[in-house]
């Protein structure tokens, strides 16, 4: 096991929610960080300013990570500004308003899959090229942020979103085996009902509070709780963990 001394992390979709919480934890742990955002430049700049009080190695970069051209440019930027990436958190994703499957359109399905799944594939591809000992790299770790919806299917609400997260689970397992002998660990976290702004995107800002009584722990989760699990999976403390998932759903 090679211990990485210059820790460089990319967090996609890091301007808010779980991504921002993860950036805060990793900054405390000495990572150089690239905060990726798609549209919310103001929030990304605010987070960069906040983290600059902890570490001066924080950069922001706009990129639509479902775009191959943008992803290539994003990783080239990290190479130049921070050095070779050692940690990738695939957090970017979207959620659409709650509807049943019979109301889904091809446009919505494709947007969900391209944004949530293609982005994960593209970012993993570029990370592997740099991390893999097969290509002269020193190794690294990848954490894919899935969802408990991949297990429940999210009936009556977000079957398309759930399916996209199921695809991420399959990719996580397959890639972990593909690069296990090349110094790269690939794991996933599957959050349940977490207090983030994403629920507004789904048309129900108070969804977590509504469903909290159905959760065995009787409460929703905080983004910081997910960030701590991501941080552990990226760290040397999880050095023998690959192809695994941490379910963070309060017992559901």
Annotated active-site positions, please?
161
Query: Which residues of 109-165 form beta strands (DSSP E)?
Result: 140-145
Residues 6+ apart with CB under 8 A from 239: 1, 185
Q: How many CA atoms lie within 13 A of 35 on its CB side?
A: 33
Helix (H) or strand (E) run with residue 61 in it: strand 58-62
The answer to whether 140 and 87 have CB atoms below 8 angstroms apart is: yes
Residue 135 to residue 115: CA distance in whole angstroms: 28
Reading the block at residue 111, the tokens are 């947007």
> For residue 193, with 0-12 CB atoms within 10 Å meaning exposed, 13-18 middle and 19 or more buried, which class applies?
buried
- Segment (H or E) for 186: strand 184-191
In contact, 43 and 58? CB cutoff 8 Å: no
Q: What secondary structure letter does DSSP report for 4?
A: P
Overall size of the chain counted in residues: 252
Q: What 3-state class would DSSP assign to 167?
A: helix
The answer to whether the CB of 194 falls within 8 A of the CB of 223 is yes
């Amino acid at each position: 096991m090679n211990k990485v001394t210059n820790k460089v992390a990319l967090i996609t979709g890091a301007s808010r929610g779980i991504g921002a919480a993860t950036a805060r934890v990793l900054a405390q742990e000495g990572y150089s960080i690239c905060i990726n955002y798609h549209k919310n430049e103001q929030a990304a700049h605010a987070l960069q300013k906040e983290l600059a009080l902890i570490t001066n190695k924080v950069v922001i970069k706009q990129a639509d990570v479902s775009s191959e051209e943008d992803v290539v440019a994003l990783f080239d930027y990290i190479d130049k500004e921070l050095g070779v990436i050692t940690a990738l958190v695939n957090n970017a994703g979207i959620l659409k308003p709650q509807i049943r499957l019979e109301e889904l359109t091809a446009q919505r399905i494709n947007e969900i899959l391209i944004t949530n799944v293609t982005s994960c594939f593209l970012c993993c591809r570029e990370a592997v090229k740099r991390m893999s000992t097969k290509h002269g790299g020193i190794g690294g770790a990848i954490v894919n942020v899935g969802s408990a919806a991949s297990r429940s299917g999210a009936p009556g609400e977000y079957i398309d979103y759930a399916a996209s997260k199921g695809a991420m689970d399959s990719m996580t397992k397959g890639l972990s085996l593909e690069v296990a002998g090349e110094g790269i660990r690939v794991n996933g976290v599957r959050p349940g009902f977490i207090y983030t702004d994403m629920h507004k995107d789904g048309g129900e800002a108070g969804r977590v509070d509504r469903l909290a009584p159905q959760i065995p722990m009787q409460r929703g989760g905080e983004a910081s709780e997910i960030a701590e699990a991501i941080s552990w999976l990226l760290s040397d403390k999880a050095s023998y963990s690959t192809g695994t998932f941490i379910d963070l759903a309060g017992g559901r």
